[in-house]
């Protein structure tokens, strides 16, 4: 990694934090109310460390194997680590004890597996419930109409703690259309918070990525997940 690349990441993080602060204040909140997750997929340990040094709040990884490799390299040292990608039940055991939060819990079945593995480790795992807010056939996630039933079931699990909701809205043009999905998520978040379930603490609403994080914050997001805005375009 060159010094120029490091400076580019540092500047990108600073720019994102400035925009986050402005969006937070415009929505009547404080900048520190918003958590900046660096979506580190396909960025090596050195680039992750550069983002941490630049001031991101949390590292977020999409793939279990990549997370494990970088974890062994101490890439995430100094910051909490979230899992933010699609998670297969047979991979859950590799995350327990390493991540502070699993944001992408898309079913009761997955929550039960997390509960089982967390019980083995003697911990309680923080999670977010992922909604398929656009009801897209190509995406996993909980149907918004089923969230109350899911919450009631997951609230019974002793070794998971639901901290809120997460979503990836459909790609739309322009972003004004996407705010319809963000607003729907925010309303669900508020409705669930008002019901005071046991074992449910609704303090995290994770939505908004590089192209639309300011809009998400305006609609109530408390966590935004930025990849390309911090690291540049991914090369697949």
Residue 235 inside a domain? The answer is: no
Residue 51 contacts residue 71 (beta carbons within 8 Å) = no
Domain count, the chain: 1
pLDDT at residue 198 in the model: 85
Per-residue model confidence as pLDDT tens digits over 219-234: 999 999 999 999 998 7
In a domain, 233, yes or no: no
Model confidence at 236, in pLDDT bands (50, 70, 90)? very low
125 in any annotated domain: yes
Task: List pLDDT tens digits, range 127-147.
Answer: 999 999 999 888 899 999 999
Establish if 108 belongs to a structural domain: yes
pLDDT band at 176 (very low <50, low <70, confident <90, very high): low
Enclosing domain of residue 128: 3-227
CATH number at residue 88: 3.20.20.10
In a domain, 11, yes or no: yes
Query: 40 in a domain, yes or no?
Result: yes
In a domain, 234, yes or no: no
pTM: 0.95
For residues 2 and 101, give the distance between their C-alpha atoms in angstroms, rounded to a whole number. Answer: 32
């Amino acid at each position: 990694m060159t010094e120029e690349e490091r400076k580019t990441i540092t500047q990108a993080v600073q720019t994102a934090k400035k925009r986050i602060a402005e969006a937070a204040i415009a929505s009547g909140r404080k900048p520190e109310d918003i958590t900046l997750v660096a979506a580190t997929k396909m960025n090596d340990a050195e680039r992750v460390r550069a983002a941490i040094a630049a001031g991101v709040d949390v590292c977020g990884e999409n793939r279990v194997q990549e997370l494990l490799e970088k974890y062994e390299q101490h890439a995430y040292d100094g910051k909490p680590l979230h899992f933010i990608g699609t998670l297969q039940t047979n991979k859950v055991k590799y995350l327990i004890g390493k991540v502070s939060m699993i944001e992408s819990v898309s079913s009761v079945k997955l929550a039960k597996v997390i509960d089982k593995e967390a019980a083995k480790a003697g911990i309680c795992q923080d999670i977010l419930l992922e909604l398929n807010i656009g009801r897209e056939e190509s995406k996993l996630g909980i149907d918004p109409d089923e969230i109350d039933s899911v919450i009631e079931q997951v609230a019974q699990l002793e070794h998971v703690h639901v901290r809120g909701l997460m979503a990836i809205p459909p790609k739309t043009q322009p972003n004004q259309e996407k705010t319809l999905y963000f607003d729907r998520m925010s309303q669900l978040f508020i409705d669930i918070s008002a019901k005071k379930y046991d074992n449910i603490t609704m303090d995290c609403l994770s939505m908004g990525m590089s192209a639309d994080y300011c809009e998400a914050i305006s609609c109530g997001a408390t966590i935004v997940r930025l990849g390309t805005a911090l690291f540049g375009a991914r090369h697949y």
